[in-house]
Amino acid sequence: MLNTFVRRLGQAVIVLLAVALLLFVMLRIIPGNPVTTMMGEHADSATIERMTREMGLDQPILTQFFQYLLGAVRGDFGTSYSLKKPVAELMGAALGNTVKLAVFASLFAWVTGILCGVLAAVRKNSIPDRLFMGFSLLGVSMPVFVTAMVLQYVFGYLLRWLPISGAESWTSFILPAIALGWNSAGSIARLVRSTLLGVLEEDYIDTARAKGRTPLGVLTRHALRNAMLPVITMMAIQFSGLLSGAVITETVFSINGIGQLTVRAISGRDIPLMQGTVLFAVTIVILGNLAADSLYSVLDPRIRKGG
């Protein structure tokens, strides 16, 4: 089992390196010297040349890439062109809000997703079932920014219950967390419902019922335990998705996090910042997938044995 994990970890590192290289090349094939972008149109050519040399931009692209990697290992991701600060420092400052948002959104998604999924499965084809599944579909089919703006309009503007933007207090995170987590809540609810419906047909459920367990006991001790397996894997993948995919939510709610930093980097043509933020997101996704894979083999004895 440890072997499998090490192999997967190795694969993950290779994919990450490949992504980093691809990103590095993609951001550099656009014509135009970043120094000119940084210094403005009217900088004199001697300064531009000196800066280009200082930043190592005159080196071949692969050399630049390896220098970048060496720096990255030591926690140095270069200096942002537009904000004139180290990328690591900028990302460190933004990370807190992104993590908070992802945690709140996940909590919302897990609690509502599992509750709705279980209720829907137990009362299959009832009105609550249809209602929950309708809500989950809505979550899947509405773009995050539309959901976000509807929430802002209704709860922030019409009812004035919650703040519309910013990250000052924990109440500011409620609307963004719902907007961001709705989609996940929907897919979790659907998955819980379908796996639970499958499990409820198993023989051991009948056995448990025949032994005289209460319906709630059967549900929690026998059915849910077995139905949660794919759900937990999905939750691991989704958490990393939420952590890396808050670009739009952070923009709509003006939350100063990694996602907003990414948007700022792109609109400011700020290559080091773009590189740092995108690599951060990719790392999180790869780690999330790795965690999901490993969780699955830890939790499911059948896979554990098979290796």
What residues line the site for other proteins (CB under 8 A)? 15-16, 18-19, 22-23, 26-27, 29-30, 137-138, 140-146, 149-150, 152-153, 157, 190, 241, 244-245, 247-248, 251, 262-263, 266-267, 269, 274, 278, 281-282, 285-286
Q: Which is nearer to other proteins, 208 or 280 (CB)?
A: 280
Do residues 219 and 205 touch, judged by C-beta distance below 8 A? Answer: no
User: CA-CA distance, 218 to 231, in Å (whole number)?
Assistant: 19
| Shortest Cβ 47–other proteins spacing (Å) | 26
Q: Which is nearer to other proteins, 224 or 285 (CB)?
A: 285
| Shortest Cβ 278–other proteins spacing (Å) | 5
User: CA-CA distance, 273 to 87, in Å (whole number)?
Assistant: 6
| Shortest Cβ 142–other proteins spacing (Å) | 5
| Shortest Cβ 187–other proteins spacing (Å) | 9
| Shortest Cβ 67–other proteins spacing (Å) | 21
Q: Which is nearer to other proteins, 5 or 209 (CB)?
A: 5
| Shortest Cβ 44–other proteins spacing (Å) | 28
User: CA-CA distance, 88 to 85, in Å (whole number)?
Assistant: 9
Question: How many Cβ atoms sit within 10 Å of the Cβ of residue 103?
Answer: 15
The sign of the torsion formed by the CA atoms of 276, 277, 278, 281 equals: positive
Do residues 186 and 115 touch, judged by C-beta distance below 8 A? Answer: no
Q: Which is nearer to other proteins, 208 or 273 (CB)?
A: 273
User: CA-CA distance, 172 to 162, in Å (whole number)?
Assistant: 7
According to DSSP, the residues that pair with 79 across neighbouring strands are 86
Q: Which is nearer to other proteins, 241 or 272 (CB)?
A: 241
Q: Which is nearer to other proteins, 23 or 197 (CB)?
A: 23
Which 8-state DSSP code applies to residue 79? B
User: Of 64, 92, 17, 5, nearest to 292 (Cα)?
Assistant: 5
